[in-house]
Amino acid sequence: MRSAELKFRIPKSEFRNSKGMTLIELLAALVIIGILSAIVISRLDLAFTSSRASVDGAAYMIASDIRYAQEFAMANRVSKSVVFNSGSSVYTFNPTSNLDSSGQLPSGVTISGNFTVTFNSLGEPTAGGGGSVTVSGGGLSRTISVVNYTGKVNVS
Smallest Cα–Cα separation from 59: which of 20, 131, 16, 109?
109
How many angstroms separate the Cα of 59 from the Cα of each of 10, 95, 122, 134?
73, 22, 25, 8
Report the chain's mean pLDDT, rounded to a whole number. 82
CA dist., res. 78 & res. 29, Å (int): 70
pLDDT tens column, 75-114: 999 999 999 988 888 898 888 877 777 788 887 888 888 8
pLDDT tens string 17-54: 556 778 888 899 999 999 988 888 777 655 555 677 88
